[in-house]
Amino acid sequence: MGIRTWFALRIEFLSLIIIIPGFFFCLAYQSDAGMFALMLKYTLSITEDIGIFMNQISKTENRFISYERCDYFMKIDPETGYCD
């Protein structure tokens, strides 16, 4: 649970790194409030998509590890006395 919280915090910082230059871009080109709102909306949706993508990668990796463990246990020779 702690790793997910750490990662969520990093994703939020990533969104700040993307939002701040976008804000200055809107100020430099004197964009209206609608353009800034649109930039903010898309920026937040991108960071949300990155979080979902990374979560799916994590789940896939966990499933592969579970498969490897099951495969390992299936290859262990049975102990004597159980298969007589």
Residue 40 in domain: yes
pLDDT in tens, the chain (84 residues): 577 778 778 877 877 787 788 778 877 888 788 888 888 888 778 878 887 888 888 889 989 999 999 999 999 887 777 665
Number of domains in the chain: 1
- Of 26, 61, 56, give the one whose Cα is nearest residue 41: 26
pLDDT at position 44 is 79
The predicted pLDDT at position 69 comes to 94
Helix, strand, coil percent values for the chain (each to nearest 5):
80, 0, 20
For residue 32, tell me if it sits in a domain.
yes
pLDDT at position 3, please? Answer: 74
Domain for residue 79, yes or no?
no
Pinpoint the alpha helices (H) of the chain: 2-28, 33-74
50 found inside a domain: yes
Domain hosting 41: range is: 2-74
Tokens of 6: 């750490």
Rounded CA separation 14/8 (Å): 10
The answer to whether residue 33 sits within a structural domain is yes
Q: Which pLDDT score, from 0 to 100, does residue 72 have?
A: 95
pLDDT value for 64 = 94
Is 80 inside any structural domain? no
